[in-house]
Amino acid sequence: MIKKLSLIALTLILTTSCVSKKIYTDLEDKYANLKKENRKLADSNRDLETTLNKAQNDLSKLQQDYDKTLAQRNKLQTDYNATKSNLDNLKASYDALEKNSNASIAANSKKNRELLAQLEAKEQALAAENARLEKIKKELESRSQRVAELENVIASKDAAMTKLKNAISQALTNFEGKGLTVEQRNGKVYVSMENKLLFQSGSWAVGTQGKQAVKQLGSVLADNPEIAILIEGHTDNVPYKGNSQLSGNWDLSTKRATAIVNILRENSSINPENLTAAGRGEFAPIATNDTAEGKAKNRRIEVILTPKLDEISKLLNDI
């Protein structure tokens, strides 16, 4: 009932002859918050890449430390074996010389004691190196496992977004060549729809063909509840000269983004908390505004789909 009342209220507002200053101010505030959130997502993505690189560098350093410690252990083992062989030889010599003078026996006994002391010291050093090597090995295995988990989660997110892109492309195949494109960049999926598919010039009312495209997109998004959905409205740089209901291109782009959100909300399987509408006006062009073709490309709606990163954030905190 609340949703129906909200929809009726929104319809009344959109059909009135003018937009109140409060609505315009609220839209501006909401866009400012969305812009901050977008920068936050971009910063989070860069932080994730930086943390992954650091984890991989730490893993490489641990591997080098492990290899170095292993080489030291092997050297100690070789020294130990050589010392033990020397001791065995001296013991054999001691047995052969035992019948000689007491002086020779005393000298051999002293040398044996020294060698035994050296052997004991090397055994202790070898045991310490083995313990250190085992500790580094366990830490290396633990870090390797966490890095592998992080890489698997990121790969899984990328695979899920690729699957989502393919599903959207298949669902909207009938609109190819009609101003609609689907791309995957920086771990996100971008669905761009030119205004010729959605709106009449200066209008924010979605046409029949545009509604069909948005609803088909919504049917795919309904099956992906873990995706954040940002709808951005864009215009060219030609100043808006329509009726007094709008104050300019920024206002027009915001109303167009909100119109797309309202169509998506008709699908009850889409969580409204995942939806965000934003107007960018003429300030984020993708083509030159010096040609009619470029202006047509700039007049568009972009639906930006972003995976939720809670699982990746938890793994990063554990590294």
How much is the pLDDT for 112? 86
The residue ranges of every structural domain in the chain are 20-52+161-318, 55-157
Per-residue pLDDT tens for 87-102? 888 788 777 776 776 7
Average pLDDT over residues 9-36: 70
The whole-angstrom separation of Cα 204 and Cα 252 is 7
Tokens 């010291």 sit on residue:
121
- pLDDT category of residue 274 using cuts at 50, 70 and 90: very high
Per-residue pLDDT tens for 140-192? 776 777 777 777 777 888 888 899 999 999 989 888 778 899 999 988 999 99
Q: In this structure, are strands 227-234 and 300-307 parallel, antiparallel, or unpaired?
A: antiparallel
**CB-CB contact of 151 with 315 (8 Å):** no
Considering the chain, what percentage of its residues have pLDDT values greater than 90? 37
pTM: 0.55
Per-residue pLDDT tens for 62-79? 888 888 888 888 888 888
Q: Which amino acid is at 81?
A: N
Q: Which of 200-204, 215-219, 262-266 has the lowest mean pLDDT?
A: 200-204
Residue 24 token pair: 């315009």
**Residues whose CB falls within 8 Å of the CB of residue 279, separated by 6 or more in sequence, listed in order:** 27, 31, 232, 233, 250, 251, 252, 253, 254, 255, 256, 257
Instruction: State the DSSP string of 285-300.
Output: -SS-SSSHHHHHHHSE
Averaged pLDDT score across all residues of the chain: 83
User: Does 267 score more than 90 pLDDT?
Assistant: yes
User: Check: CATH 3.30.1330.60 for 20-52+161-318?
Assistant: yes
Give ∠ CA 194-163-37 in degrees, rounded to 5. Answer: 60
**Residues whose CB falls within 8 Å of the CB of residue 111, separated by 6 or more in sequence, listed in order:** 90
Q: Residue 62 gets which letter from DSSP? A: H
